[in-house]
A and B are shown apart, each in its own frame.
Chain A
Amino acid sequence: MSILSTLSIAAQALKAQQLAIQTTGHNLANSATPGYSRQRVDLVSAIPTFEGGVFVGQGVDVQGITRVVDRFAEAELLSQNGDVGYSEAESQALNSLQEVFPVTGGINGALSDFFTALSDLTNNPAGMTERIAVVAKANALGDSIALTRQNLTSLQQNIDQDLQNSLARLNVVLPQIAELNKQIALGEASGDSANDFRDKRQTLLQEVTKLTGATAREDETGQVTVAVDGLLLVGGDRFASFQSNNFNAAGFHEVTYVSPDGNAFDATTLITEGKIGATVNARDHQAQDVVDGLDQFAKALVDTVNSQHALGFDLNGAAAGDFFTPIATSAGAAANVKVADPVAADPRLIAAAASVDALPGDNRNALAMVGLRSANVAALGGQTLENGFLSLIGTVGSQVESAQARFDFQQDLLSQTQARRESTSGVNVDEEMIKLIQFQRAFEASSLLVRTGDSMYQSLLEMVK
C-alpha cells in the first residue's frame, strides 16, 4: 500500500478510460458502416493484493475488446442471402422476360390481322388489293415474331453479361476472403479477437453467399471454408477463381471453375443457387424455354398455313407452292417467318381457289385457310395457333407472379434477420453518447486521482523539508 500504487491505479484507469473512449469513438465513427458490429471494451477490476490482512483493490484492467455479435443471426443471414440472391435475380430476369410480350397487340394482334386479311380475301378472291394486304399482314406477323425472338435473344445476352459480372465480382471477393482468413488467423493466434477483419469478412461472405448460395464453416483457427455444391471456393488462404472465356453451343458463356490447385472444368450446371444459379437458370431454361416455344409456334404456323395453301390453286391456275418460306427445323424458326419470295413478288400466286377449273371466283381454299384459325394443331399439343401462343405467355406471366411473391417473402425474411442482427450488433448513437459521458467522467475522476496522489507526495516531501 503506497502512494505510488494509488498513482499506478490512476494511470491504469486513465489508460482504460481512454481506450473505452477511443472504442466509443470507433463505434460512433462506424455507426453507418454496413456490416459493422459494435465493439465493447471489457473492463474488469484488477486482481487485488493481500496486504495487512485485507484485499486491497488494484484498479481497473482491460481484458480485451470484443465484438458484439449474434452468431446465430449471422449464420442465418448467410443462408438467407443465398435465397434472396436467387429469387431476386430470378424475378428480375423474368420481369424483363415478360416485358418482351406486350399485353395488347404484339404477335397475337398480328396473327389476328393476318387472318382478317385472309378473310377479306375470301370476299374477293381475285382482288389484288386483298392479295397485297394478305402478303403485307403475313410479313408483319413474321416481323413481329422475329422481333420478339430478337428481343428474347438480346435479353439472354443481357443475362449472360450479368453472369459475367457476377463471376468477375467473385474473382475479386474470393481472394479478399482468403487474405482476411490469413489476417484473422495471425491476429487471433495470441487469443485476441480480430474484430474489424471479422466484420469485413462477414460482409464479403454475405456477398459470396448472395452470388452463389455457398455455405461457410469456421474452423478453430478462425478461418472459414467456403464451398458450394462440392466446389471449394475458399479454404484457408487458398481460393478458387472463375473464368468465362468458354462458350456453350448456344453461344453463351460457360462458368469455368478453376480450383485452388489450378484444375479447370465447366461448372455451369453445378452452381444452382444464389444469383449465379438463378442467372444460369433464367438464361438456359426459363428464357430458352420461351425461345423454344416461340420457335415451335413459328414452325407450326408456317407448316399449317403452307400445307393448306399447297392444296389450292393460284390466280394463274397453277397448283400452289409454299405461302411462307418453308422452315426445316424448329430451332431458330421464329426468326425466319416470311412470305415465300415468289408469292411476295407476285400476290397472284396466293392460292385462294380449291379447284383449277373454278377461277377466278373460287374462294374455298382461302376459306379453309381462315378456318386454320380455329383448327387444332398437333405440333402445339392439339391447341389452336392462338391458344398455343397464349399458353406460352401465360406460363411466363405465372412464373413472374410466383417469382415476385417468392422474392418479396424472402426479402421480408432477410429484413427481419437483418433487424435482429442490427439489434445486437448495431451502433446506437445515444447509447454511445451516454457511454462517452460516462467514460469521460471516469477519466476526469482518474485525473483527479493523479492530482490527489501528487499532492499527497507533496505533503510528504514538505514534511521532511
Chain B
Amino acid sequence: MRVTQQTISTQVLEGLQRAYQQVARSQEIVTTGRRINHLSDDPLGTARAFNLRAFEDAVSQYKRNIDNANPFLAESDAALGDVVSGITRAKELALSVANDTNTQTERSAAADEIHEILQTLLGEANTQLDNRYLFGGFLNGAAPFVQGPNGIDYVGDNGEVKVQSSATNTLTANLIGSQVFQGAGVTGGQGVFDTLQDLEAVLRGTAPANALSFKVNLDENLTAGAGFAEPDAVGTEAAPATLSAEADFSTVVTVFDGQGQAHDLHVLFAKTGAATFNYRVFAESDDIVGGTPGKWYQVGAQGTLAFNPDGSFNAGGSAVSDITLAGLADGAADITIAGANIAFTGSTQKAQPSAVIAQTQTNTTGLQTQLGRLDAALNQVSSFRAVVGARQNSAQVSSDALTVLKDRATGLRSQIEDADVIAAYSDFARFQNAFQAALQSAAQVIQPTLLDFLTT
C-alpha cells in the first residue's frame, strides 16, 4: 500500500485523539471518583444506582420515623409507670385502713390522699409531648380526659397514630386513652378513675349500696338489627353465641360479691330506634349453682332505654329493672343492684367501634371489692405498659436492622457507581503513557522527508 505524508498525519492525529480521549475519560473517573459520570456510561447501572439511592432515602426516613416515635413511647412508658405507682399507692392506702379498728377519720384521710392520687393520675393521662396529648388518639390537640358530671370523661378517639417503620410495617406511636384508663374494649376492663372515685366514696362512706352506670354510644351510623328473639324471663339460659348475634353491641361489667370474687355480667343492647334500645343482663351460668356451663343466665327483666336528642337519659320513656345474682356458686350472699342504682347516659362521642364506651361499677359490700377492681386496673395498665415496652423493643430491633440494610445498600450502590480508585489510577497512568508514546513516535515519524537528506 502506498503511504503518503497525509496518510501518516491523519493516522497520527486520529491515534492521538483516541489516546487523548482515553486519558480524559480516565482522568474524569479519577477526579470524580465515580465510574458512572454520564447516563450512557452504564444505563442499567445508573437505573440501579438511582433505585438504591431511593431505597437508602426511604430507609433513612423509616429510621427517622422510628426515632420520632421513640420519645412518645418512652413518655407513655414513664406516664404508665407513674400510674402503676399511683394505683399501687392507692391499694396500700386502702389496705392500711381496711381493718374494722380503723376510724372514719383515718379512712377520710386515706380518701383525701386517694383524691390527690386521682388528680395526679388524671394529669398523667393528660400528658403532653411536643404539644400533643399522648393518650388522645387523633384528637390529641386537647386534653383527652375531662371532669364530667358523672366522673371523668374521655373526649379523645380511637385513632392509632402510625408511622412507617419499614416498607411494609408500621409502628403505632400512641396508646388509646379510653382503653388504658377506662378499659373500653378490653375484656374485663376496669375504669382506673372510676375505681379510684368509687374507692374514695367507699372510704368516705358516701357510696350507694350497689350501683352500675353505662355510657351508651348514640352514633347514628350504628344500624338496628333484628332485636332479641330469645324469650325474656329471669333464669332463661341461652348460648352466648345466639345472644351475641341478636345484640347490636354489648359490654361486660364485673361485680364483686361479699367474698371478693368477681362475677362477669354481660349487658347486651339491641337498638330499636334512633335513640331507643332494649337491653338484657346475663350472668355466666357456671357462676350460678345449677347452671349449665357454657350458657348465659338472664339475671333481670328486659329493660328499655330512651335518650333525648342531646344524649341525655329520658327516664319517662325508659324502664330499668333490678338485677339479682342469686345462688352464687361460691356460696356468697346474693348480689342485688336496684334499678334506681343503674344509670345510663348517652354519648355522641365518636369512639367507634366500641358502642358502650365506659361503664362504672360500684359494689360497696366491702373494701375488698374495690381492692379487686384496683388489682384489675393495675393489671390492665401494666399490660398496656408491656405493650409499650414491646413496641420500644421492636422499634429498636427495626432501627438496627434498618442501619444494616442502609449500609448494605450504600455498599451495593458504591460498587455500581463508584470507581475502583486503584484500578482507575492505574488506568489513568497507562493511558497517559500510551498517549506520550504516541506523541513521541509521531514526532519522529513526521519529521524526516527526502528533503532532509538532499544537500543543496
Contact across chains for A426 and B4 when beta carbons are under 8 A apart: yes
Nearest CB in chain B to that of A430: its residue = B450
Q: A413–B347 Cα gap in the complex (Å)?
A: 88
Q: A122–B136 Cα gap in the complex (Å)?
A: 17
Contact across chains for A98 and B38 when beta carbons are under 8 A apart: yes
Contact across chains for B38 and A360 when beta carbons are under 8 A apart: no
A112 to chain B: which residues have CB within 8 Å? 53-54, 57-58
A215 to chain B: which residues have CB within 8 Å? none
B69 to chain A: which residues have CB within 8 Å? 123
A126 to chain B: which residues have CB within 8 Å? 131-132, 141
Shortest Cβ gap from A130 to chain B (Å): 10
Q: Is A187 an interface residue (CB 8 A)?
A: no
Q: A104–B37 Cα gap in the complex (Å)?
A: 9
Contact across chains for B162 and A367 when beta carbons are under 8 A apart: yes
Shortest Cβ gap from B55 to chain A (Å): 10
Q: A94–B47 Cα gap in the complex (Å)?
A: 18
Q: Is A77 an interface residue (CB 8 A)?
A: no
Q: A401–B44 Cα gap in the complex (Å)?
A: 11
Q: A136–B140 Cα gap in the complex (Å)?
A: 26
Contact across chains for B46 and A122 when beta carbons are under 8 A apart: no
Residues 21-57 of chain B, each 1 if its beta carbon lies under 8 Å from chain A, else 0: 0000000000000101111111110110111011001
Known: A367-B162, A430-B450. A390 touches B7 (CB 8 A): no
Contact across chains for B53 and A434 when beta carbons are under 8 A apart: no
Contact across chains for A116 and B57 when beta carbons are under 8 A apart: yes
Q: Is B64 an interface residue (CB 8 A)?
A: yes
Q: Within the complex, which residue of A123, A400, A415 is in contact with B68, where a contact is CB–CB below 8 Å?
A: A123
Residues 362-381 of chain A, each 1 if its beta carbon lies under 8 Å from chain B, else 0: 11100100100110000000
B131 to chain A: which residues have CB within 8 Å? 126
Q: Is A398 an interface residue (CB 8 A)?
A: yes
Known: A123-B68, A390-B50, A424-B2. A99 touches B10 (CB 8 A): no
- Name the interface size band of chain B: 35 or more
Comparing A281-289, A351-359, A441-449, the segment that makes contact with chain B is: A351-359
Q: Is B455 an interface residue (CB 8 A)?
A: no
Q: Is A24 an interface residue (CB 8 A)?
A: no
Contact across chains for A116 and B7 when beta carbons are under 8 A apart: no
Q: Within the complex, which residue of A116, A355, A363, A400 is in contact with B161, where a contact is CB–CB below 8 Å?
A: A363
Known: A112-B53, A430-B450. A99 touches B2 (CB 8 A): no
Q: Within the complex, which residue of B6, B39, B57, B138 is in contact with A426, where a contact is CB–CB below 8 Å?
A: B6
Known: A415-B14, A423-B1, A426-B7. A361 touches B43 (CB 8 A): no
Nearest CB in chain A to that of B168: its residue = A374
Q: A206–B236 Cα gap in the complex (Å)?
A: 109
Q: Is A393 an interface residue (CB 8 A)?
A: yes
A386 to chain B: which residues have CB within 8 Å? 50-51, 54
Q: Is B451 an interface residue (CB 8 A)?
A: yes
Contact across chains for B3 and A423 when beta carbons are under 8 A apart: yes
B42 to chain A: which residues have CB within 8 Å? 397
Q: A208–B450 Cα gap in the complex (Å)?
A: 38
Contact across chains for A360 and B65 when beta carbons are under 8 A apart: no
Known: A123-B69, A390-B47. A415 touches B141 (CB 8 A): no
Contact across chains for A103 and B39 when beta carbons are under 8 A apart: yes
Q: A387–B47 Cα gap in the complex (Å)?
A: 9
Shortest Cβ gap from B113 to chain A (Å): 34
Q: Is A252 an interface residue (CB 8 A)?
A: no
Known: A362-B138, A427-B5. A103 touches B162 (CB 8 A): no
Q: A373–B163 Cα gap in the complex (Å)?
A: 15
Shortest Cβ gap from B62 to chain A (Å): 8
Contact across chains for B4 and A422 when beta carbons are under 8 A apart: yes
Q: Is A181 an interface residue (CB 8 A)?
A: no
Residues 94-114 of chain A, each 1 if its beta carbon lies under 8 Å from chain B, else 0: 110011010110001100100
Q: Which of A400-425 touch B at CB < 8 Å?
A: 400-401, 404, 415, 418-419, 422-424
Q: A112–B58 Cα gap in the complex (Å)?
A: 8
Shortest Cβ gap from A352 to chain B (Å): 10
Shortest Cβ gap from A112 to chain B (Å): 4
Contact across chains for A103 and B36 when beta carbons are under 8 A apart: yes
Contact across chains for A108 and B6 when beta carbons are under 8 A apart: no
Contact across chains for B38 and A108 when beta carbons are under 8 A apart: no
Q: Is B438 an interface residue (CB 8 A)?
A: no
Contact across chains for B65 and A119 when beta carbons are under 8 A apart: yes
Q: Is B257 an interface residue (CB 8 A)?
A: no
Q: Is A171 an interface residue (CB 8 A)?
A: no
Q: Is B189 an interface residue (CB 8 A)?
A: no
Q: Is B422 an interface residue (CB 8 A)?
A: no
Q: A362–B164 Cα gap in the complex (Å)?
A: 14
Nearest CB in chain B to that of A395: its residue = B43
B450 to chain A: which residues have CB within 8 Å? 429-430, 433-434
Contact across chains for B157 and A358 when beta carbons are under 8 A apart: yes
Q: A10–B141 Cα gap in the complex (Å)?
A: 120
Q: Is B365 an interface residue (CB 8 A)?
A: no
Shortest Cβ gap from A147 to chain B (Å): 17
Nearest CB in chain B to that of A418: its residue = B10
Contact across chains for A361 and B61 when beta carbons are under 8 A apart: no
Contact across chains for A119 and B3 when beta carbons are under 8 A apart: no
B39, B132, B136, B161 interface centre (most CB from chain A within 10 Å): B39
Residues 285-300 of chain B, each 1 if its beta carbon lies under 8 Å from chain A, else 0: 0000000000000000
Q: Is A124 an interface residue (CB 8 A)?
A: yes
Nearest CB in chain B to that of A357: its residue = B350
Q: Is B137 an interface residue (CB 8 A)?
A: yes
Q: Within the complex, which residue of B43, B54, B68, B139 is in contact with A401, where a contact is CB–CB below 8 Å?
A: B43
Q: Is B100 an interface residue (CB 8 A)?
A: no
Q: Is A237 an interface residue (CB 8 A)?
A: no
Contact across chains for B10 and A415 when beta carbons are under 8 A apart: yes
Q: Within the complex, which residue of A95, A98, A423 is in contact with B7, where a contact is CB–CB below 8 Å?
A: A423
Q: Is B167 an interface residue (CB 8 A)?
A: yes
Q: Is B454 an interface residue (CB 8 A)?
A: yes
A387 to chain B: which residues have CB within 8 Å? 51
B68 to chain A: which residues have CB within 8 Å? 123-124
Q: Which of B155-175 touch A at CB < 8 Å?
A: 157, 159, 161-164, 167, 170, 174
Shortest Cβ gap from A375 to chain B (Å): 12
Q: Is B130 an interface residue (CB 8 A)?
A: yes
Q: Is B449 an interface residue (CB 8 A)?
A: yes
Q: Within the complex, which residue of A31, A103, A391, A423 is in contact with B5, where a contact is CB–CB below 8 Å?
A: A31
Q: Which of B406-456 touch A at CB < 8 Å?
A: 417, 449-451, 454
Contact across chains for A362 and B159 when beta carbons are under 8 A apart: yes
Q: A268–B138 Cα gap in the complex (Å)?
A: 63
A64 to chain B: which residues have CB within 8 Å? none
Q: A128–B43 Cα gap in the complex (Å)?
A: 41
Q: Is A32 an interface residue (CB 8 A)?
A: yes
B2, B50, B137 interface centre (most CB from chain A within 10 Å): B50
Shortest Cβ gap from A47 to chain B (Å): 32
Shortest Cβ gap from A431 to chain B (Å): 8
Contact across chains for A390 and B163 when beta carbons are under 8 A apart: no
Q: Is A394 an interface residue (CB 8 A)?
A: yes
Q: Which of A75-104 touch B at CB < 8 Å?
A: 94-95, 98-99, 101, 103-104
Contact across chains for A361 and B161 when beta carbons are under 8 A apart: yes
Contact across chains for A360 and B141 when beta carbons are under 8 A apart: yes
Q: A364–B159 Cα gap in the complex (Å)?
A: 10
B10 to chain A: which residues have CB within 8 Å? 415, 418-419, 422
Known: A104-B53, A422-B7, A426-B2. A361 touches B164 (CB 8 A): no
A357 to chain B: which residues have CB within 8 Å? 138-139, 157, 350
Q: A415–B12 Cα gap in the complex (Å)?
A: 12
Q: Which 6 A-B pairs have the closest CB atoms?
A: A397-B43, A358-B138, A397-B39, A426-B4, A400-B40, A361-B140
Question: Can you list 17 contacts pairing A with B, beta carbon distance less than 8 Å?
Answer: A104-B53, A108-B50, A108-B53, A122-B65, A358-B157, A361-B174, A386-B54, A390-B51, A394-B43, A394-B46, A397-B42, A404-B40, A419-B7, A422-B7, A422-B10, A423-B1, A429-B451
- With A119-B64, A363-B162 known, 17 other A-B pairs at CB within 8 A are A32-B5, A32-B6, A109-B53, A115-B61, A116-B57, A122-B65, A123-B68, A123-B69, A360-B138, A360-B140, A367-B162, A367-B163, A419-B7, A422-B4, A428-B2, A428-B5, A429-B4
